[in-house]
Amino acid sequence: MTALENFYTPTQIVAELDKYIIGQHDAKRNVAIALRNRWRRMYAQEDMRKEIMPNNILLIGPTGVGKTEIARRLAKLADAPFTKVEASKFTEVGYVGRDVESMVRDLVEQSVNMVKAKKKEEVKVKAEQAVEDIILDLLIPPVKNAGMGFKSSASAAEPAAVPDSDQELNERTRELFREKIRSGELDERKVEINVQQNGPGVGVVGGPMDEASMMNIQEMIGNMMPKKTKKRKLSIAEARKILLDEESSKLIDMDDVKDEAIRKAENMGIIFIDEIDKVASSKKGGGPDVSREGVQRDLLPIVEGSAVNTKYGIIHTDHILFIAAGAFHISKPSDLIPELQGRFPIRVELNSLTQADFYHILKEPKNALTKQYQALLSSENVTIDFNDDALLSLSEIAFELNVEVENIGARRLHTVMSHLLNELLFDVPDRIGANAHIVITRELVEQKLKGLVKNRDLSQFIL
């Protein structure tokens, strides 16, 4: 079990999630177990590895309580490809719209991007060296060696007192400019480079065709067409970014990237299916419910485990972790077709946010809204602090608005904070200059927001 020491334990996973998400302990515990089980499976006996299926999770709770955030943070912790899809998207065009398999293709695309970024990081030093040489060649072209020259008549033991050759002078100048490029002294100087252009989109005439086939044909035709380049005059700083991407791409093997990305998506991928309650229906019979049940029946083979064709190759979905979520205000989980219910054995109910939760959300997470506004204003050399009483007042107002208007969970804090600080954000830096220190007090919060709650003039808070 020593290999598992490199991975988070369930307790550590929950502790990491606690840094960003307030409350919802049951949901965090269940996703922590699911993630740890993925790592446990990788080190299980080989003959049992294929038999161990992921326990997919169904998160039940109102909007804005942290369902999506839990899944997204989990994927970041696992360094796993992650994609989110809304189940209602599959019913929008009379159920001839988006292909359900597209979510698996999106996952593979994410996986390819992750692996490519990692491989590029590994060859970054070598690529940077190549970019430096390209920029140097543009600034100071190297002197070509003329080949064999005339030998000096002087004895080998007596070095000839000859001036530096053009080549030596050129090399010394190049090294001097290399140092200037590295230090950033020449970042603003313009150079002309050849930049690859994306070819025009390729259309295919014919009958209806599935998304995978269309992508494969477009990629094949695109690869057959010659790559066009265009000369562009850019600063060295901009040119370096473009050239670094091109040189890194030349140094990595895309076949290896594709193979690793497929493995990563198959074994570590997480697909988050939001609004699954929108495709559940308590009514039987015709009408739009046929469309909803059709979506469920299309989701079923993917969640059960099937082979999906992507432009990077075949991917098997057997060991992808599916996390579904829904508010289930009108329908209930048992309204899903029994086969799909059985594929989400872990069910977790998330609690509605209390006034105390709002207070903690404003104060504690690493990405708390208060900290985001502090970071925004610090870029203008303005500091802003929130009194504890002000945070209590903000949480009280946000909670009241959710109760009286519509419960949109933690998203309510964005509208409340925006209304509180918009005037201040407009005044910086014209009326409020650099080095200003602003303190948000309870009195200021009540002055800006409390009157609106009392008068029930709440239209601007409705999202």
pLDDT score for 183: 86
Residue 163 placed within a domain: no
pLDDT score for 350: 93
Q: Quote the CA–CA distance of 269 and 105 in Å, as a whole number.
A: 11
Residues 46 and 25 occupy one common structural domain? yes
> Residue 414: in which H helix or E strand, if any?
helix 411-427
- pTM summary value: 0.81
Structural domain boundaries enclosing 24? 2-113+260-349
Residues 128 and 236 occupy one common structural domain? yes
Domain boundary among 349, 368, 388: 349
- Alpha carbons within 13 angstroms on the beta-carbon side of residue 139 total 24
Angle between helices 166-183 and 124-139 in degrees, nearest 10: 120
Residues 407 and 330 occupy one common structural domain? no
Residues 26 and 70 occupy one common structural domain? yes
pLDDT score for 205: 53
CATH number at residue 89: 3.40.50.300
The tokens 């094949």 sit on which residue? 220
Residue 82 placed within a domain: yes
Residues 363 and 309 occupy one common structural domain? no
Residues 106 and 12 occupy one common structural domain? yes
Domain boundary among 305, 325, 349: 349
- The residues of the chain scoring below 50 in pLDDT are 1, 94-97, 146-163, 206-208
Nearest to 59 by CA among 365, 333, 407, 436: 333
Domain boundary among 230, 251, 272: 251
pLDDT score for 88: 83
8, burial (CB in 10 Å: exposed 0-12, middle 13-18, buried 19+) = middle
Residues 183 and 241 occupy one common structural domain? yes
pLDDT score for 295: 86
The tokens 């709002």 sit on which residue? 358
Residue 150 placed within a domain: no
Q: Quote the CA–CA distance of 74 and 272 in Å, as a whole number.
A: 11
Residue 419 placed within a domain: yes
Number of compact structural domains in the chain: 3
- In three-state form (DSSP H/G/I as H, E/B as E, the rest C), the secondary structure along 52-90 is CCCCCEEEECCCCCCHHHHHHHHHHHHCCCEEEEEHHHH
Residues 333 and 214 occupy one common structural domain? no
Residues 41 and 131 occupy one common structural domain? no
Residues 226 and 108 occupy one common structural domain? no
- 429 secondary structure, DSSP code: T
Residue 77 placed within a domain: yes
Residues 233 and 132 occupy one common structural domain? yes
Residue 154 placed within a domain: no
Q: Quote the CA–CA distance of 38 and 78 in Å, as a whole number.
A: 10
- 164 secondary structure, DSSP code: P
Residue 327 placed within a domain: yes
For the stretch 176-223, pLDDT in tens is: 888 888 888 888 888 888 887 765 555 555 444 555 565 666 666 666
Nearest to 316 by CA among 87, 91, 54: 54
Q: What b/e string do you get for 287-307 counting C-beta neighbours within 10 Å, with b at 16 or more?
A: eebebbbebbeebbebbeeee
Residues 241 and 128 occupy one common structural domain? yes
Residue 175 placed within a domain: yes
Q: Quote the CA–CA distance of 360 and 195 in Å, as a whole number.
A: 50
CATH number at residue 367: 1.10.8.60
